[in-house]
Structure 1
Amino acid sequence: MFSAIKRTYPSAQVCVIGNSINKEVLGDHPDVDDYCVWNGAIREMAREIRRRGIEYLCITGPSAGALAAAYLAGVPRIVVPVIENGLSPYETRAYKLLRLLAVRIPHCMGHYAPREYLRLLEPLSIVTDDTTKRINYSDAARKNAAEFLRAHHLIEKKFAVISPSAGNKIKNWPADRFARVAEHLVSRDLPVVVIGGPRDKEEVAAMMRVVGTVGNIIDASEKFSIDELKAFIAQALLFVSSDTGPIYIAEAFNIATVDIIGPIDENEQPPVGSRHKIVVAPRQKPQLFVMNARFYDAREARRQVEAVTVPMVIEAIDELLRENRLTI
């Protein structure tokens, strides 16, 4: 969305409002001029919006709080989504009432979410299908990532990254299966670096216990800041994980990815294109959606995760490497 705005209105100032993690993800983005961290306090955010003189505000997901803050700030044009083709618990009664004060744009569940977000820019006469992701990292992060690669003898070598945990734990693929995938990659002479944050300790530890003394599988969990993680992932040949935030960092840097999507809708969010593959088991319908990750059948969601086998993931990896002529 940021790049689409800048292409049409080069002098526009783009301010993003969100959480502190996304602030780090978007750090050094060439098309983001300002980032405002919101802690959920409506009046405080209204003051920040008013102070910045924001004239056009898009709310990408239904949020009564965000809409109230924008309205209290007196933003001239507020644009919000109306969810179609499904039910979203985020469309609360308060949100539905407040959105009558805003410009309402359809967001169709089951369609590619990044393209749906771009529709929020159409009142600005911005109509585009370009959903290319763009992020960046600092020089300091690049140097620190290079130092890690040097310390582990990976400078100018190709390697894979595995993230064995997801933010929403219902999507976690079993750690022992990630271990088998890592062993396969090592057998193909592709070193593996395992990443994770403080909330991923259990999954990373479980995976590392299974691989044991297998060489060329490096535990890099909690070694990087988000900025450094971006710089590190940008050097990889391949990224493998359940559907989780870092896989979209890999996508933004055009790194080949294999996304074990488990219970999520395969059409809404996973990376798309010839350099990306999804792995999903047979099912009647997905359980989790971008606009509804709250109400679902937990047993069926886990079945959809557990039904993905190691051979399915290995086949996707080998096909991806072969089709893209990614030599090891």
Structure 2
Amino acid sequence: MKILVAQPGKIGDLVCTTPLFRTLAENFKAPVDIIAGPFALDLLKGNDSVREVYSRKVEPDILRKENYTHILVLMPSVEIWGLARKASISNIWSTIHPKMTRRERLFSFFYLTRKFPYNFSSAQQHYLQMGQALGAANLIQKREIRYGSEDEQKIAEFLREQNLQDKKLVGISVTAGKDFKEWGNQNYKQLVDKLNSENFTVIAVGTKEERPKLETLQNSLARQDMFLNVAGDFKLSEFAALAVNFRAFIAADTGPLYIADALGIPVVDLMGPCYSGGQKPLGENAVLIGECLKPEHPKCRMMDSPNYLKEEFQRCMAEIRFEEVWQGFQSLKL
């Protein structure tokens, strides 16, 4: 049996899939190959449970030469189902769920040899159940992120150049993969000003495209000298090496937060419209904040909402108060 795993999701989804990679590698005594987004190669650096990382644009002939017997497609994807068929993979197993598009439902009938219904409970456990169906008996639960010595060296130089070695550092991510998950610069200004007043230096991470938004935030702060905008400066593996220096990380439910949590960093997750029953930080020192954790807000759960209600999702983030976030931060064991 030779297994290929396809994770079409984003950074946080991939972090939550690392227990499956480890489970398959240890149970079947061989690292697995995966199909994932362009960030995967850097994010999985040094992870010896993974052998090969393919892009979603990989040619079928390349996969066919590997003689895979099974592919586990962790999220519905007509593109990947078709790729697996062209690569002559005989066992195409995939997650399905009630919110699939009509096209996905149609092609699932033709392409899939086994379907795994997802009921919007823990995504990580769902992935592991797919591994269990292959015969994996020992299920690994721990998420893992690694980085290399060159990443450590770059971050050590950065901390030294910025004179941060002895400072109390808190990381934040103001932006998110979806704009309706953002809490807003005005809220983050209040949070950063409070952190600075408590002698915490704040490091804001993000992509190069997000840098201007962070510059606007920095210009509004009372203590601009205690805020560093490093958006676009570091690769994901370098961010991981940076994150281990944080006392805590505060962000919406987004990829960098899942990286920090997997590294054991205390986190405050502004869940907003994200449904914690499906995916959440699992660290012992994690605080989840957001109206959608409350039973009276069932419609705003992003994963099981009957419609893609962007305005309601934004309302969920807007209803998160600074006092809740600060109280959550204070409750962390720093």
Smaller-chain TM-score bracket? 0.7 to 0.9
Q: What residue in structure 1 maps to residue 320 of structure 2?
A: 308
CA distance in 2 between partners of 1:201 and 1:167 (Å): 14
Q: Which runs of 5+ in 2 are unaligned?
A: 1-19
The residue identity in structure 1 corresponding to 2:104 is T
Cα distance, 1:280 vs structure 2: 0.5
Q: What residue in structure 2 maps to residue 69 of structure 1?
A: 83
2:60 corresponds to 1:60: no
Does the residue aligned with 1:136 lie in a helix, a strand or coil?
A: coil
Q: What residue in structure 2 maps to residue 18 of structure 1?
A: 36
Does the residue aligned with 1:20 lie in a helix, a strand or coil?
A: coil
2:281 corresponds to 1:265: no
Preserved CA contact (<8 Å) 2:60 2:86: yes
Cα distance, 1:232 vs structure 2: 0.9
Does the residue aligned with 1:258 lie in a helix, a strand or coil?
A: strand
CA distance in 2 between partners of 1:72 and 1:194 (Å): 43
Q: What residue in structure 2 maps to residue 4 of structure 1?
A: 23
Q: Which runs of 5+ in 1 are unaligned?
A: none
CA distance in 2 between partners of 1:72 and 1:48 (Å): 11
Cα distance, 1:294 vs structure 2: 11
**CA 1:107–1:258 in structure 2 vs 1: closer, same or farther (change >3 Å)?**
same
The residue identity in structure 2 corresponding to 1:31 is S
CA distance in 1 between partners of 2:46 and 2:103 (Å): 33
Cα distance, 1:119 vs structure 2: 1.4
The residue identity in structure 1 corresponding to 2:329 is I
Q: TM-score, normalised by structure 1?
A: 0.88
Q: Deviations over 1:20-50 (max 9, x none)?
A: 11222112212111111123xxxx5322211
Q: What residue in structure 2 maps to residue 108 of structure 1?
A: 119
Preserved CA contact (<8 Å) 2:74 2:95: yes
CA distance in 2 between partners of 1:57 and 1:156 (Å): 48
CA distance in 1 between partners of 2:222 and 2:276 (Å): 33
CA distance in 2 between partners of 1:87 and 1:254 (Å): 33
Give the 5 Å matches for 1:80-99.
80-83=94-97, 86-89=98-101, 92-99=104-111
Preserved CA contact (<8 Å) 1:241 1:259: yes
Does the residue aligned with 2:34 lie in a helix, a strand or coil?
A: strand
2:226 corresponds to 1:211: no
How many pairs align? 312
**CA 1:314–1:19 in structure 2 vs 1: closer, same or farther (change >3 Å)?**
same
**CA 1:199–1:91 in structure 2 vs 1: closer, same or farther (change >3 Å)?**
farther
CA distance in 1 between partners of 2:70 and 2:126 (Å): 18
CA distance in 1 between partners of 2:214 and 2:305 (Å): 24
The residue identity in structure 1 corresponding to 2:47 is H
Does the residue aligned with 2:115 lie in a helix, a strand or coil?
A: strand
The residue identity in structure 2 corresponding to 1:310 is F
Cα distance, 1:143 vs structure 2: 0.6
Cα distance, 1:212 vs structure 2: 4.8
Cα distance, 1:176 vs structure 2: 1.6
Preserved CA contact (<8 Å) 1:89 1:294: no
CA distance in 1 between partners of 2:212 and 2:276 (Å): 27
**CA 1:118–1:224 in structure 2 vs 1: closer, same or farther (change >3 Å)?**
same
The residue identity in structure 2 corresponding to 1:72 is K
Cα distance, 1:293 vs structure 2: 8.9
The residue identity in structure 2 corresponding to 1:24 is D
Q: What residue in structure 2 maps to residue 37 of structure 1?
A: 55
Does the residue aligned with 1:182 lie in a helix, a strand or coil?
A: helix
Q: TM-score, normalised by structure 2?
A: 0.86
CA distance in 1 between partners of 2:140 and 2:302 (Å): 22
**CA 1:239–1:130 in structure 2 vs 1: closer, same or farther (change >3 Å)?**
same
Does the residue aligned with 1:105 lie in a helix, a strand or coil?
A: strand
State the identity %: 21
Give the 5 Å matches for 1:110-125.
111-125=121-135
Cα distance, 1:164 vs structure 2: 0.3
**CA 1:60–1:274 in structure 2 vs 1: closer, same or farther (change >3 Å)?**
same
Cα distance, 1:77 vs structure 2: 2.3
CA distance in 2 between partners of 1:209 and 1:128 (Å): 52
Q: What residue in structure 1 maps to residue 150 of structure 2?
A: 140
CA distance in 2 between partners of 1:194 and 1:217 (Å): 7
